[in-house]
Structure 1
Amino acid sequence: MFRKFLTLALTAATVPLSAQTEALRALPVDPSEITPEKVEKPAAPILPPAPVVEVTPLAPGTVVLPERKPNPKSDSPAIDNLPGGEDAVRLQIFLDQSNFGPGVIDGKPGRFTVLAVDSWNEVRGHPSAELGPVLAAARKAVPSAFASAVVPEAATKWVNSGLSHNRPAQAKAKRMSYRSIAEFMAERYHTDVDFILELNGSKNTWGVKPGGTLIVPNVKPFHIEALTGQRYEADPAMSERHAVVDTKMNQVRIFEAAPAALLVEEEVETIADGPLLLKPNVAVKPNPALVASFPITPGKPQFIHYGTWKLNNSVELPVWRYDQSLLDTGKRSNNALNIPPGPNSPVGIIWNGLSRPGIGLHGTSDPETIGRARSAGCIRLANWDAIRIPTLIRPGATVEVR
């Protein structure tokens, strides 16, 4: 026993004091021996900034629209008892979000709202002019027709009040931006500047800045800042679909497959002192093959290429080749300018090119003119509608121009 104790003592004596101290420090410490000042406080977690609430729905009745009288010179197909006020905006929003575009959301149901109602009814097997079912669905789906929307910081990048109207000057610009925050917000919420002015007044509309708010239709916003210049590829389902561009009715209709589109019959209706309209002769039997319809502006009659083509490509934020000879005569020249991409480009924010060279479905710089002014030769849609094309059809799809 004495020998064992002597051995341990001698061993300890040969270890330096500093090493013994280090060994002791490595031993577990009883929690009761730790004083608060010895505890390292964990660093406060870095929290992401609180998300900005982009829109706040307004209670029904908050916005009161003036009574609107029907325009006796309107070329709209007749539907009795079209709604007014909030219900009119609610109906347009519901149709828009259902991919049956009513055109500009402005509380003034016109030709394109009526055609959108016809399309919605066709899918469900209701008579074309029946309003009851679609109004009931709209009231349920869109309880708030208006919202207070924050002007995002993205407006700083996408608004240029000094954007020239001169093509050579535009060719030198970075992008074909919006010319005002009012225009930015109008397109973002599928309407026009006139309706933004009606809802907010001139002072608020023209004086608003990023971070401020405007009253807008309570529709899913079109986020131009989300566009990256993406090129969309073929898709097993969407490349099999069939689009019918009706240049008389000023509408593009998208079907699940080509045979379904060919079953649609149409009847001609002539309106005195007005354009020729085509109305779908809708049967009561539902037509679920119809998946979407949007207002369009076709090309000038001499430049329309009737026939059946293929969708060749679909590209966001295209550069537009400005060739005056092509616009005037339909023939390319060597004297052309490259106009940068942007919402105020004449081809808008997306190009969906057909197998016929130089022809495509694209956006526009003037959504309020859709259906009312001819384009140079292509098929124009409002930017908020045009950007939905690659979510419905992809390269390889059939596009019939009638």
Structure 2
Amino acid sequence: LQVLLDRGGASPGVIDGRFGSNVDKALAAYNQITGANLRSTDAVAIQAALAQSGGDAFANYTITAEDAAGPYVASIPEDYSQKAQLDRMGYTSVTEALAERFHMDENYLKALNPEVDFNRPGTIIKVANFGRLVSTPVARIVADKDKKEVFAYDAGGKLVAAYPATIGSSDTPSPSGIHTVSRVALDPNYTYNPSINFKQGQNDKVLTIPPGPNGPVGSVWIALDKPTYGIHGTPDPSKIGKTESHGCVRLTNWDARELAKLVSPGVTVEFVGGPSADNLAQQ
């Protein structure tokens, strides 16, 4: 079911073989995008829809020499001053890299492939067959703080994609009202400035954290016209939609990358619901 939803433009977040709030949200969005009336319990209809949309939910993948070579980092420190000393906020293992490439939870990838040596080129593994990415240009984005979901619409107002999201927190709420996309940066570095953003640990100086999928904003930064706010990736895809952020809109890296290709400067981003929503009336 998660693979089918992903194929239909309704991201379930990490594909992990489990039901939960992200799957429920994605199923509702899938039905809106496709016009279907699919139920999570209807195995026959799910299989039929899989067959029509690209076949089996899983496919075989052969690990390459490039996959095994990385380069990988030994570990990612928690402290921002230590992060700033790394060359790159890269993946820590083959399994982390492959899990992200195939939109999967790393532990689920390992569970599907027990006793497999992921570091050996030529090894055949089972991965999610998530199909093609959404390609319809997006004209308007709605970030729903209550649903913890981002909706992307085309110029005609049709929903083309939906993503589970972590949107601000009660301490550091996201903006309210309507903003616009100002620019898109792929593989960005991250400037930590405690006087503008938030304070991490004992770090009171400005730090530049190198780019990479395990950086604070993941592998994509979609900047908004409101300074320091944006839509971005994450180093922890399994936590999307379930935790809080420092005011920004956080998606899985692969969802943020997909959305980055669909937007352009000037696309509107409307924040609805949640903390600071009372400002909406004044705006």
What is the TM-score normalised by the length of structure 2? 0.83
Measure how far apart 1:157 and its partner are: 3.4
What CA deviation, in whole Å up to 9, does each residue of 1:280-333 have, x standing for no partner?
Answer: xxxxxxxxx111111111112232211100000011010101234444379xx9
Aligned position for 2:148: 250
Which amino acid in the other structure matches residue 178 of structure 1? Y
Which amino acid in the other structure matches residue 154 of structure 1? E
Distance 1:184 1:130, change over 3 A: closer
Pick 1 or 2: higher relative contact order, CA cutoff 8 A, min separation 6: 2
Measure how far apart 1:346 and its partner are: 1.3
Distance 1:158 1:347, change over 3 A: farther
Q: Distance in 2 between matches of 1:111 and 1:379?
A: 18
Aligned position for 1:100: 10
The one of 193, 214, 219 aligned to 2:130: 219
Q: Distance in 2 between matches of 1:128 and 1:140?
A: 14
1:159–1:184 contact (8 Å) kept in structure 2: no
Aligned position for 2:51: 139
Count of aligned positions: 264
Aligned position for 1:62: none
Q: Distance in 1 between matches of 2:145 and 2:103?
A: 23
2:151–2:163 contact (8 Å) kept in structure 1: yes
Aligned position for 2:23: 113
Which amino acid in the other structure matches residue 74 of structure 2? S
The one of 298, 315, 330 aligned to 2:185: 315
Measure how far apart 1:104 and its partner are: 1.1
Partner SS, residue 113 of structure 2: helix
Q: Distance in 2 between matches of 1:153 and 1:346?
A: 28
Distance 1:153 1:118, change over 3 A: same
Indicate yes or no: 2:73 matched with 1:160: yes
Measure how far apart 1:113 and its partner are: 1.9
What CA deviation, in whole Å up to 9, does each residue of 1:250-277 have, x standing for no partner?
Answer: 11001124x83xxxxxxxxxxxxxxxxx
Q: Distance in 2 between matches of 1:341 and 1:377?
A: 20
Aligned position for 1:361: 231
Indicate yes or no: 2:269 matched with 1:394: no
Measure how far apart 1:209 and its partner are: 3.1
2:4–2:57 contact (8 Å) kept in structure 1: no
Distance 1:213 1:347, change over 3 A: same
> Which is higher, the Rg of structure 1 or of structure 2?
1
Aligned position for 1:41: none
Q: Distance in 2 between matches of 1:137 and 1:195?
A: 23
1:252–1:294 contact (8 Å) kept in structure 2: yes
Q: Distance in 1 between matches of 2:38 and 2:62?
A: 38
Partner SS, residue 127 of structure 2: strand
Aligned position for 1:264: none
What CA deviation, in whole Å up to 9, does each residue of 1:4-48 have, x standing for no partner?
Answer: xxxxxxxxxxxxxxxxxxxxxxxxxxxxxxxxxxxxxxxxxxxxx
Aligned position for 1:17: none
Aligned position for 2:277: none
Q: Distance in 2 between matches of 1:366 and 1:124?
A: 29
Unaligned runs of 5+ in 2: 273-283
Measure how far apart 1:112 and its partner are: 1.8
Partner SS, residue 171 of structure 2: helix
Q: Distance in 2 between matches of 1:94 and 1:128?
A: 11
Aligned position for 2:171: 302
Measure how far apart 1:123 and its partner are: 3.1
Unaligned runs of 5+ in 1: 1-90, 223-236, 261-288
2:50–2:56 contact (8 Å) kept in structure 1: no
The structure whose residues are more often helix, as a share, is 1
1:120–1:134 contact (8 Å) kept in structure 2: no
Q: Distance in 2 between matches of 1:150 and 1:126?
A: 34
User: Aligned-residue CA RMSD in angstroms?
Assistant: 2.7
Measure how far apart 1:396 and its partner are: 0.8
Measure how far apart 1:221 and its partner are: 9.1
State the identity %: 33
